[in-house]
Amino acid sequence: MQIIKDKQIIDDSWSYISDDAELKAGDISVSPARWNKDKQQLLHHDGKVGVRLEPSDSVDDIAEDLKEIELIELNFPAFADGRAFSHAWLLRNRYQYTGEIRATGHYMPDQVFYLSRVGINAFNLEKTEDLPVALSTLSDFTVSYQKSTN
C-alpha cells in the first residue's frame, strides 16, 4: 500500500493493531486505550509505535507521551466529521509535536490541502488511484490569507 508523506508517494510500512489483536513486530499503531494499557510493552516493541485517534478521543490523553510516539493517525470515520482537523492543529501548535501526523479513513482528496494547513503531513487514502490527484492538490494555492502551521 502506498501513501503520501511529505509531498511524496511512498510505500507504507505501518499497520493498525486493534485492541483485541496480539501485538506483532514491525511498525504498528494502536488505540489510545491500548497505548495507556500496554505502554511499557509497546516501548520495548520491535518496531516503531504510533497511536490512532478517533474524533471522540482527546489529544490531552496522550500529550505527556508524545515524545515516545512516532506516528499519530487521525481517523476520519465520515468525511463530514472535522474534529481531526482540530486534533492536528492542537498536536502541532499546542503540543509542538514534530512527528508524522497521518490522515486515514473517509476523507476526500479535495480536503488534503486543508488538512496539510493544520499540520497533517501524511495521507492514507481509501483508493490508491486517488494518490496522484491528492498529491496535486497540495500545490493548489501558493498564497495563504491566514496563518497556519505551514
Tens-digit pLDDT string for the chain (150 aa): 999 999 999 999 999 999 999 999 999 999 999 999 999 999 999 999 999 999 999 999 999 999 999 999 999 998 778 899 999 999 999 999 999 999 999 999 999 999 999 999 999 999 999 999 999 999 888 877 777 777
- Secondary structure (DSSP) of 68-128: G-SEEEEEESSTT--HHHHHHHIIIIIS---SEEEEEES--GGGHHHHHHTT--EEE-S-G
Distance CA 132, CA 45 (A): 34
